[in-house]
Amino acid sequence: MALTQEMQQDIVQYLLDAEQERREVLKVTENYPELTMEKAYDVQQLLIQRKIEGGTRSIGYKLGLTSKAKQEMMGVYEAIYGELTSDMLALEWEPVNSKDLIHPKAEPEIAFFIGEDLQGTNITGEDVIRATQYVAAAIEVIDSRYLDFKFTLPDVVADNCSSAKFLIGSKMVPVCDVDLPELGVVMTKNSQVVTTGAGAAVLGDPAVSVAWAVNKLGERGLGLRKGDVVLSGAITEAIAFEPGDTIQAQFAHLGSVTLSCV
Ligand code: OOG
């Protein structure tokens, strides 16, 4: 049976309730096995629409499951994208409150700041570089609404790819000044190194990863807008954190970004 509009709205409500009430829920596909990838992106768009009606703004996009490390960790082998809204932006000087989240994890990412509109279905990494004004260090906080962070691809897409919060470092670097695949990152938790990586972990080049998202958006008649921020995908596996923890991502050339949790 195909998913009706009403079923899609029910799924949106189910996911919004889980987020607002900070509780894990069963995967959507348990009840709606007919959820396809295409429908999952429809549900994601409806979910963002509901958030925008609630007063937030769309400020860009994020990539998910772009690195081998992440794909192997989750047992899925395809990239995905989600949408970033203004309420997700967290600030380095304000600790993230664990009461606002279910079971958060942090990932180091390279953020792209888009200087001109970019839409199409044949967009390359070079096109992305041309349209990008700056890159910066970022930490994405993911917080799947699903029990034990376990899901199928359509489940995670409907859940806006586990998006919860993100932090951007204070150093904006012109994109032409850095070699993105070679940018190294060291992640620490309470000053202990927990994981390391380089930009190339993200589909070989973070700009290629952003191009992938633009092409996917293009298939739906959407694209990047001047002023958007794009998180190009986790470079390493995700690191769980709890109240009292401090997570830092130190990037070559981009400086560092720090998250503390209370
Ligand atoms: C899905 C989102 C992963 C990334 O950068 O790989 C993600 C998840 O693992 O919950 O944002």
3-state secondary structure of 72: helix
CATH at residue 10: 3.90.850.10
Whether ligand 1 lies within 6 angstroms of the CB of 183 is answered as no
Q: Which alpha helices (H) appear in 168-224, and where do they start and end?
A: 206-219
Alpha-carbon gap, residue 134 to 114, rounded angstroms: 7
Measured in Å, residue 162 CA sits from the centre of ligand 1 at 6
Choose one of 66, 70, 78, 105 to mutate for the ligand 1 pocket test, by most ligand atoms within 8 angstroms of C-beta: 70
CA distances from residue 149 to 138, 161, 249, 251 in whole angstroms, order as listed: 22, 11, 22, 27
- Mean of the per-residue pLDDT values of the chain: 96
Total domains, the chain: 1
- pLDDT above 80 (res 1): no
Residue 130 CB coordination number (10 Å): 14
Q: Which atom of ligand 1 is nearest to the CA of 149?
A: 10
Is the pTM of the predicted complex or chain greater than 0.95?
Answer: yes
Measured in Å, residue 102 CA sits from the centre of ligand 1 at 15
Mean pLDDT calculated for residue range 52-71 = 93
Structural domain range at position 36: 5-260
Measured in Å, residue 251 CA sits from the centre of ligand 1 at 20
ipTM value of the model?
0.96
What is the tens place of the pLDDT at every residue in 90-127? Answer: 999 999 999 999 999 999 999 999 999 999 999 999 99
Q: What's the pLDDT score for residue 143?
A: 98
Alpha-carbon gap, residue 189 to 139, rounded angstroms: 13
What is the tens place of the pLDDT at every residue in 140-197? Answer: 999 999 999 999 999 999 999 999 999 999 999 999 999 999 999 999 999 999 999 9
- pLDDT above 90 (res 57): yes
3-state secondary structure of 30: helix
Which tokens is 154 given? 């359509």
Letter for the amino acid at 170? S
